Structure 1
Amino acid sequence: MSSKRCVTRQVCRSTTCWRGCRKHAGNCTRSACAVVPDRGGPRVFFDTSTVIAGAYSRKGASYVLLQLAAFGFLDGRISPGVREEALRNVAVKLPGSLAALRVLLSEALYEGPLADAALVAAAGAFSHPKDAVVLASAMIQQSHFLVTLNERDFWPPPDWIKVVRPGVLVEHLRDHVRKLLPADR
């Protein structure tokens, strides 16, 4: 059962579908609850701060990255905790952005598994205590980048994951696209 999870929650709408969909008694065979394939491109884990910023502003780098994930240029990932925290904070502080956030969460990002306690403890050595779950979730999903507006809260070894601000990742992606252009341009 651990290979199945609900991606969009638009079909089953259960509170959690990791390790089997509760609504479908662990036997979820609907297409929205299938295993999420690797969509190609860099796998990017979005911290709550980046998700909220992307839902609030239509101009910033956070929004650009979420749009790239929605179009499939990035493999955007979150954890159940990131989803819950983003929804809770936006509902209280930015209720006008709640609809945009829900669309971004359903269209752009895949929700991965919860990290186990051992991995959270290991990640705690390389992050602020409140962010250990975020780092562990990014690691368990084998993300290449952890995008956050609070990069000082994370200091993992570079071979684990790269922690970057949204603008830095946008510039990194822009540089890679420029390399695809002919030299005479």
Structure 2
Amino acid sequence: MSDVPDIVVEALKSAEARGFALSCEEMVGRLLATLASAVPSGGRVLELGTGAGVGAAWLVSGLGQRSDVTVLTLERDPELAAAAREFAWPDWLEVRVADAEKELPRLGRFDLVFADAEGGKWSGLDLTVSALQPSGILVVDDMDLSRYQSAEHRASVTRVRDAILSDPRLVAADLPVGSGIMVAARRRD
């Protein structure tokens, strides 16, 4: 882990200590850091599903010392959000306890969205796409059908993948790596 940013290592240790096994995997994290580094000045980043803070840590590592971008991460579980707040986040990152589907219509638009929670990905995906700025980037993970045994979960993944690939507002790539990653850009209006 020598090339993994310190803040990510700290978040991974916290997740492990709490028995939280659903953290953002390294491949997705590196992609998030790369995309975050390109967010324009004054930009906004949204993470749906803070979990133990690993995804947020990758986003922060990509932004480095920039203070011209804000990051909002939503977590429905108050205990997980409280644990994530324990980190020494930059003051431009906010961890908020919220249901993504209820909150999304009030949040405005974002340059980068990482949808890693039930709300905003498995349900309410249209709200997430609507929250993208023109030219905004959407990252959705856990799209590899082989990860799921139940027919219900497989149907949900297929529905999300099809929705992203067929949405006329998006140009999307289905990347069959890791947990299965989809990356989409919102077309300019």
TM-score normalized with structure 1 length: 0.36
Which structure dedicates a bigger proportion of its chain to strand? 2
TM-score normalized with structure 2 length: 0.35
The structure whose RCO (Cα within 8 Å, separation 6+) is larger is 1
